[in-house]
């Protein structure tokens, strides 16, 4: 690994952190877990209003590669999450976090995938939007997709239970 790449990534992450600190989008808090490692971040995302996630506060981690922003970070919720686009281990499956270039499955256009013009803020806003409007066409949690499509009341009830758990209730 080129040491220069790591320092470029570090400068970029420091700049993005400063921006997020000064102009945090509503419902989102994020930053490095420790000042010693800017490549591991923690985020807190508030459940969007008028969704079954409303009232929840969902912790997640962002792990940045050394060649950031050329490659996207990986995002993973560290609490239980029930959502069509979140794997059971908490890993977020969303176009903006997919490696740049053409989709081998020809599902996404390259413009929907990661590019170096994206930012932590755009990722977190995309995830907030994803919570409000799941994409059941490209599900990460197949069981959740089935319930989302066939029984919205059951889906909402499961999510609301999850929300209570994240709040320790």
Catalytic residue positions? Answer: 93
| Contact by Cβ (8 Å): 151, 71 | no
| Contact by Cβ (8 Å): 92, 86 | yes
The token pair that represents 12 in the structure block: 């970029």
Cβ partners under 8 Å of residue 50, min gap 6: 132
The token pair that represents 104 in the structure block: 């081998």
Angle at 92 between CA 45 and CA 143, to 5 degrees: 110
């Amino acid at each position: 690994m080129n040491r220069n790449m790591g320092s470029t990534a570090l400068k970029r992450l420091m700049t993005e952190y400063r921006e997020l600190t000064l102009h945090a989008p509503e419902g989102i808090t994020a930053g490095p877990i420790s000042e010693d490692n800017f490549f591991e971040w923690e985020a807190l995302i508030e459940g969007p209003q008028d969704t079954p996630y409303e009232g929840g506060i969902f912790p997640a981690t962002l792990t940045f590669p050394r060649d950031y922003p050329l490659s996207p970070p990986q995002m993973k919720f560290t609490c239980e999450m029930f959502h069509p686009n979140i794997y059971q281990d908490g890993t977020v499956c969303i176009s903006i976090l997919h490696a740049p270039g053409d989709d081998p499955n020809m599902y996404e256009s390259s413009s929907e995938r990661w590019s170096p013009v994206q930012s932590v803020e755009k990722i977190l806003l995309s995830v907030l939007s994803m919570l409000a409007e799941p994409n059941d066409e490209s599900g990460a949690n197949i069981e959740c997709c089935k319930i989302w499509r066939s029984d919205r009341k059951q889906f909402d009830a499961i999510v609301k239970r999850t929300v209570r758990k994240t709040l320790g209730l």
